Amino acid sequence: MSTSVSANHEAPAAAGDAQAGDFESWVAQRVARARELLDRHCGAGLSAGSPLGEAMHYAAALGGKRMRPLLVWASGECLGADGAALDAAACAVELVHAYSLVHDDLPCMDNDVLRRGMPTVHVRYGEAMALLAGDALQTRAFEVLTSDPALPERLQARLCGLLAAAVGAGGMAGGQALDLQATGRRLDLQALRDMHSRKTGALLRASVLMGVACAGEIDPRLAQQCEAALLDYARDIGLAFQVVDDVLDASADSATLGKTAGKDAEQGKATFVALLGVEAARAQARQLLEQALQALRRLPEPARQRSARLAELARRVVARSH
């Protein structure tokens, strides 16, 4: 891993990234920035002590790995993107992710009481408030994308369009509906991949594409040249992410996961582990990682030499324990 990081040190620094340290300190810095942005945008415009604002803030604060914002920043910075636009995009994808978790956890969906070791939003604030908090978190994502006058309006529109296409019936929500229909039924590998490509993959791909869109304001030609390879990268790590999720659900305990383990098998859900077994699923995740890294090698310069963080993020997806 250290070679990738040092490769990055020889590259011209990406915009807003002059004192690039190693990968871990970059992650820590960006995770802190995500938290700061979510704090700023969750609860704003609400009267103090509003339960809706509190529930939104609680839901957003529950977020752990901030994988989607990290992908926005890493892909955008790899192509030299601008700070304010990337911040808005990073915040928006995490707000959408937070909304999807709140609604996923509801009794009528997964009925989960624990998320990252904490009571889920409906356990803490009641079902009705959790429903509204999820709804309002989704809306807030579009507010964040359209409320910063520093962002050119054409970029605001493009980011809203990319996010909406990824989140709705053709993307995340559609994948969740397929997941609902699949419970207790035998899906084949292709159907399972398709479902996850929408359920979790669409937002991960959108994170990368939104980073690229921000960069397109600065260097449209480079952004265009890089889009296909970065989309392949995002597709591979999106699927790897899900395969690893299934492996962890089948093999880790609830304390490590911070959520209820073993629920997939219990609910008769189609998973990569159920179809392939744990070992073959792990091998699949490693293969997807290799493909994602190959996609980064296809990037034209100077993006390729700046892609170390994207490579590290891919490795982190596969190596994670929760």
Binding-site ranges for a second copy (CB under 8 A): 43, 45-46, 50-53, 56, 99, 103, 106, 108-109, 126-129, 131-132, 134-136, 138-140, 142-143, 145-147, 153-154, 156-158, 160-161, 163-165, 167-170, 173-174, 176-177, 180-181
Taking the complex as a whole, the smallest distance from the CB of residue 202 to a second copy amounts, in Å, to 11
User: By C-beta, is 140 or 205 nearer to a second copy?
Assistant: 140
Tell me whether residue 241 is exposed, middle or buried, using C-beta atoms within 10 angstroms of its C-beta: 0 to 12, 13 to 18, 19 or more: buried
Taking the complex as a whole, the smallest distance from the CB of residue 139 to a second copy amounts, in Å, to 3
Q: Residue 16: helix, strand or coil by DSSP?
A: coil
Taking the complex as a whole, the smallest distance from the CB of residue 128 to a second copy amounts, in Å, to 5
If we measure between CA atoms, which residue out of 176, 186, 174, 178 comes closest to residue 269?
Answer: 186
Query: Rg of the Cα trace of the chain?
Result: 19
User: By C-beta, is 110 or 236 nearer to a second copy?
Assistant: 110
Q: How far apart are CA 220 and CA 34, in angstroms?
A: 26
User: By C-beta, is 115 or 158 nearer to a second copy?
Assistant: 158
Taking the complex as a whole, the smallest distance from the CB of residue 156 to a second copy amounts, in Å, to 4
Phi, psi values for residue 224, rounded to 5°: -65, -40
Taking the complex as a whole, the smallest distance from the CB of residue 158 to a second copy amounts, in Å, to 7
Write out the two tokens for 304: 């390729």
Q: Are β-strands 114-115 and 118-119 bridged in parallel, bridged antiparallel, or unpaired?
A: antiparallel
Taking the complex as a whole, the smallest distance from the CB of residue 134 to a second copy amounts, in Å, to 7
Identity of the residue numbered 297: R
User: By C-beta, is 113 or 252 nearer to a second copy?
Assistant: 113
Write out the two tokens for 85: 């636009």
Write out the two tokens for 48: 């103090």
- Given a contact cutoff of 8 angstroms between Cβ atoms, the answer to whether 117 and 49 are in contact is no
Q: How far apart are CA 236 and CA 297, in angstroms?
A: 14
- Given a contact cutoff of 8 angstroms between Cβ atoms, the answer to whether 62 and 116 are in contact is yes
Q: How far apart are CA 175 and CA 202, in angstroms?
A: 9
User: By C-beta, is 138 or 271 nearer to a second copy?
Assistant: 138
User: By C-beta, is 176 or 307 nearer to a second copy?
Assistant: 176
Q: Which residues contact 251 (CB under 8 A, 6 or more apart)?
A: 278
Phi-psi region of 117 (alpha: psi -120 to 50; beta: other; left: phi over 0): left
Q: Residue 114: helix, strand or coil by DSSP?
A: strand
Taking the complex as a whole, the smallest distance from the CB of residue 125 to a second copy amounts, in Å, to 10
User: By C-beta, is 88 or 317 nearer to a second copy?
Assistant: 88
User: By C-beta, is 157 or 189 nearer to a second copy?
Assistant: 157
Write out the two tokens for 236: 């591979």
